[in-house]
Chains A and B, each alone.
Chain A
Amino acid sequence: MHGTFNTMQIMDRTGHTSITWDPDKAVEVGVARDTFDKLIKEGYRAFKVEGQDNQGERMTAFDSKAGKIMMVPHLVGG
């Protein structure tokens, strides 16, 4: 995944916010990592996803080479 852009899509009040980074660029990775950690603290769940049928897995730590990360907001029962 070196040299290619990775994406984090954050579901929020704007519809979604996308953050992209190049894993070879430390500054971009740092921004993505900080955002990831902040959202996890807020209650978001992170998932590494692949394809439209959402094959993937839950992430508990940031991975700069994850490819595509979906940040799911905290859910509650209704």
Chain B
Amino acid sequence: MSGIISYGSYIPYWRLQRAAISGALGTHSGKGTRSVASYDEDPTSMGVEAARMALSALGGTSTRAVYFATTRPSYLEKTNATAIHAALDLDEDAFAADMIGSVRSGVAAIRAALDAPKPTLAVLSDIRTGLAGGSDEREGGDGAAALLCAAEGDFIAECLGGATATAEFLDRWRAPGDFAARVWEERFGESIYLPLARSAIASALKQAEIAPEQVTHFIVTGTHSRSIPRIAATVKPETLVDNLAATIGNTGCAHPGILLASVLDSAGPEETIALVVLADGADVLLFRTTKALTTRRQPMSVASQMACTRDDLAYSKFQTWRGVYRLEPPRRPDPVGPQAPPTYRSEKWKFAFTGTRCAACGTCHLPPARICLRCGAVDKMLPERLANTRASVATFTIDRLAYSKSPPVVVGVLDFDGGGRIPVELTDVDPGKVQVGDRVEMTFRRMYAAGSVQNYFWKARPIRGTE
């Protein structure tokens, strides 16, 4: 029987008040907020953040494969999961592939990881949006989750089985290249989804020999806004897991992972979780938590991540980040994209944030160097990955001329704990509040896209929560 070894989530810093949408457009006023990926994030970068969270609590288990699910991949033709593989510094002989395009890819990646013979990381990440004033824009959210699954091992939650029901029907669709999805009349979808869901839930419980009342946590999520509450209404209210609609919104293909993470954040041992996902059918997975869960939760819970936020994002900025509003660029040449051969040569630095430390004198070099700046030793360097090392701001400045989708650029010169210095861009930060000595942590970001080429690298953000 397979199970989950570790898990992680990523909720981006920014929230858009739904009232800000109605304020800008004069449309139906929604309540609460939705999460928004920052201008320097995409599904790949958010997936890296969730995966880092999942792997940080782990000792020893090596990830043998990565399945990356998103509906809005930054690349087609080229695999996106390879950037995640590189950012996690996984071994070359670990597999990496995408499951992209449809919302069902999220639960599909979890199922595939659970079915895999070797430890496999399912990374679910999504950016949800729609036409201005529409329900997808309002009710959607951005975020990511990652689950490391294995066929055997020291599980935090054992998979008790599951069931699926599939049908071909037109409920929600989007053509490649289109900005927004379209949906058929929801009353039609409801008539399809409800029987599929009921059948899959009954089948899963029966196969696992679990009575419905034995389920401690019922997660019901998916794409269909009419069917989800109907299914949710059939379970004991106290077992129904908060779908976070009021705070972060529906993160599409990432949502099953984020909700599962929110349960694992606080569940005790020997509790039963039912995950029900309605997306072009119904998928049900059953889990039972173990004692190991209490010692291997993600270092920062979904709730704590949600608490590190700013909820005053202007609608105009949201639309600028989404590429709907096109700001006049500065009178500078467009940024030239990263070139393929130098990017390939510096994979360990650019993606894994691996510098070098001089074996002769211990001086850390960021980026990697061959000759030590302190003692001059030649080729005596050892690689050292600083992606998970914290740092202090040695000095900083605000650059109001540098090109950015969200000016001004905050430049921070960082001193890493244990040595190492580098100037980087600070993100998820209030430019007016940066101070020398601020504590920061590294975060994987999309620096910019030049044409269709994505430029990923690391920035620093204020440490979330307490140290």
A, B from the same assembly: no
